[in-house]
Amino acid sequence: MLQMRGITKRFPGVLASDNVNFDVRAGEVHTLLGENGAGKSTLMKILYGLYQQDEGEILLHGEPVRLNSPADAISHGVGMIHQHFMLVPTLTVAENVALGLQSGRAPFSDLKNVSKRITELSRSFGLHVFPDEYVWQLSVGERQRVEIIKALYRDASILILDEPTAVLTPSEVDDIFVIFKRLAADGRGLVFISHKLKEVLELSDRITVLRHGRVTGDTTPAQSDRHDLARLMVGREVKLAPDAHAVQPGEPLLVIENLFVDGDRGKHAVQGLSLEVRSGEILGIAGISGNGQRELAEAIAGLRPSQSGKITLAGHDTTRCKPRQIREKGLSYVPEERMKDGAVGEFDIKENIILLNHDKEPFCSKGFLQFGTIAEHSRKLVKAYAVKTPSIDTTTKNLSGGNIQKVIMARELSAGPKVLLASQPTRGVDIGAAEYIHERIARQREKGTASIVISEDLDEVMALSDRIAVMFDGRIMGIIPRKEATRESIGLLMTGEQQHGAKQRA
C-alpha cells in the first residue's frame, strides 16, 4: 500500500537519506531498525509531510503523492504515533482527538459525536480510552493509546510507530504489542521504528536496517537473530553484553539507611529506602522513571537535601555534605541530564574535562589556568576514551550524545572514584558508544569501585549489574541477583507488585 522509491534527502553537510527504498503492505508490521542518526526519523518525517525529499517518489495505494504537510499525510491515510506524545495535557481526550478535525457543526466543536466515535473505536480495538478524561490524568501507556485513537479516528491505513516502547514497562509493552498485531490483522500497515532488537524480532513481519542514511539490510525475524541485526546496524561485530569479570565484592562503600527525600512537588519521592553497594560490584536500579530514581541520585550526590535517613560513603557520613565535599570523599556522578547537569555545552571539550579540578594543581597555579597541562591531560583522555572529535577545542554541544557522554565518563572515571553513580548512562546514545560505556563501567569492578547504574532500560540493567534493585514509588521493591533475574520477575516488581520470595536485601 506504500512504496517509497529512491528517497534522498540532504541536509547541510549530511546525507540523511541516500536512495532509500521502503515499502509497506497491508496487514504487516515492517520495522525500520537503526541507530540514532541512521535516517529512520528523516525517512518517516518525509512520509508524514514534515520534510520534503530532494529526490525519489512516494506512492500511496499505487498513486504517486506529494506530501507537503502533516495535513496532507493525514488526508492520505498516514498516521503517526510520535515518540514524544503530541497531546495537550490540559485538554480532554475528546478535545485532543477533535483538534484539527473538520467539525460537523462548524464553527462550533462537535465533541459529543467525537466522544461517541472514540468509545466505539476504543471498544473495537480494546484500547480502554475514555473521551472525557483529561490527558494530564492519564498514565504514559494510556496516553499512547490516545495517540493511537487519534490516528484511527482519522482513518489511518498506515501507522508510523516512532519508538513506541521507549517509555513503557515490560507488561505495557506486551499489551501494546497485542494491540499492534490487532491493528495489522485489521488490514492496516504498520511501520515500527526501534532500536530494541528483542522487540523488533518479536513484533516484525519484515525488517529494514538503516545505517548512515542507507539501507544495509532487508530481512525477517525468521532469517536473523540479535547479533545479525546489531551487525547490520553498527557495521561491525558488537558485543551485546560486556564480558563479565565477576569480582568478589569487598567492603560496603555506599550505605543508605532509611532515606527520605522530597520531590519537587513536596511529597516524599524517596520513602524509607535502604541499600548497600560493595567494592567491586555493580548494583543496577531498574524502574519506570518518576519513581524516585532521580531524587535518589541527587540526594546521594548532595544536590537535593535528604529529609531523614543516612548516607555513608566510603566510611564518611555524607548525608548533609555539599556536592563538592561528597566528591572529595570519592563519588563520581554521571547525571541523567547530560547537557543540563553533566557538561557545559558552550564550553570546549578540554574545559569540560577539567571542570571538577580547574581550581587545583596541576591545572591551576596561583589562580591561573595552566593551559599546557590542561591540553595534554585532555588529549590523553580523549584518546583513552575514544571520543570522536576534531580537536579538544571543539565546542562540546556540537558532539553527538554518545561522544558527550564519553567526555563526561572520561572526567568522572579519571578521578578514580570509590563510588560511581551513573544515571541513564546510555540514554540517547548509539549502540557503538553504549557498548563502550558499558565496557568502561564494567571494568570499574576490577578497580574496586562500588557502582550504581540507574536505568529505565531493562536490558542495560540486566547486562551490567551484579545485583538488580527495582524501585517503585520511592521504595526498593526487591533486590535480585543477576543470575536469578528474569525480565518477567523484574517487570512485575516495576509495577509495584511484591514478588513472592524476593528477599528485601539491604
Q: How far is the CB of 77 from another protein (least distance, A)?
A: 14
Q: Which of 14, 71, 241, 246 binds another protein (CB under 8 A)?
A: 71
Subset of 150-209 contacting another protein (CB under 8 A): 150
Nearer to another protein, 104 or 362 (CB): 104
Collapsed DSSP state (helix, strand, coil) of residue 312? strand
Collapsed DSSP state (helix, strand, coil) of residue 20? strand
Nearer to another protein, 48 or 192 (CB): 48
Q: Is 208 exposed, middle or buried (0-12, 13-18, 19+ CB in 10 A)?
A: buried
Q: Is 382 in the site for another protein (CB under 8 A)?
A: no
Q: Is 391 in the site for another protein (CB under 8 A)?
A: no
Please give the Cα distance from 89 to 215 (Å, whole number): 38
Q: Which stretch binds another protein (CB under 8 A): 74-82, 323-331, 361-369, 395-403?
A: 74-82
Q: How far is the CB of 66 from another protein (least distance, A)?
A: 16
Q: Is 89 in the site for another protein (CB under 8 A)?
A: yes
Nearer to another protein, 44 or 283 (CB): 44
Q: Is 100 exposed, middle or buried (0-12, 13-18, 19+ CB in 10 A)?
A: exposed
State in Å, rounded, how far the first CA of the chain is from the last one: 56
Q: Cα 204 to chain center, whole Å?
A: 21
Beta-bridged to residue 60, according to DSSP, are: 2, 63
Q: How far is the CB of 186 from another protein (least distance, A)?
A: 22
Residues that contact another protein, how many (by CB under 8 A): 28
Beta-bridged to residue 308, according to DSSP, are: 260
Collapsed DSSP state (helix, strand, coil) of residue 292? coil
Question: Binding string to another protein for residues 37 to 66, with x set by CB under 8 A, is what?
Answer: --------x----xx---------------
Collapsed DSSP state (helix, strand, coil) of residue 478? strand
**CA-wise closest residue to 363 among 402, 325, 315, 415:** 415
Nearer to another protein, 80 or 209 (CB): 80
Radius of gyration of the chain (CA): 25
Nearer to another protein, 106 or 185 (CB): 106
Nearer to another protein, 50 or 415 (CB): 50
Please give the Cα distance from 19 to 23 (Å, whole number): 13
Question: Binding string to another protein for residues 5 to 24, with x set by CB under 8 A, is what?
Answer: --------------------
Q: Which stretch binds another protein (CB under 8 A): 91-99, 137-145, 234-242, 497-505?
A: 91-99
Sheet holding 14-24, edge to edge: 14-24, 2-11, 55-60, 63-65
CB-CB contact of 318 with 268 (8 Å): no
Nearer to another protein, 44 or 485 (CB): 44
Please give the Cα distance from 206 to 209 (Å, whole number): 10
Cell digits of residue 158: 498506515
Please give the Cα distance from 22 to 399 (Å, whole number): 30
Q: How far is the CB of 247 from another protein (least distance, A)?
A: 46
Q: How far is the CB of 344 from another protein (least distance, A)?
A: 21
Q: Is 90 in the site for another protein (CB under 8 A)?
A: yes
Q: How far is the CB of 71 from another protein (least distance, A)?
A: 3
Q: Is 386 in the site for another protein (CB under 8 A)?
A: no
Question: Binding string to another protein for residues 92 to 131, with x set by CB under 8 A, is what?
Answer: ---xx-xxxx-x--xxxx----------------------
**Location of C-alpha cell 506530501:** 67
Which residues of the chain form contacts with another protein (CB under 8 A)?
Answer: 45, 50-51, 69-71, 74, 80, 82, 85-91, 95-96, 98-101, 103, 106-109, 150
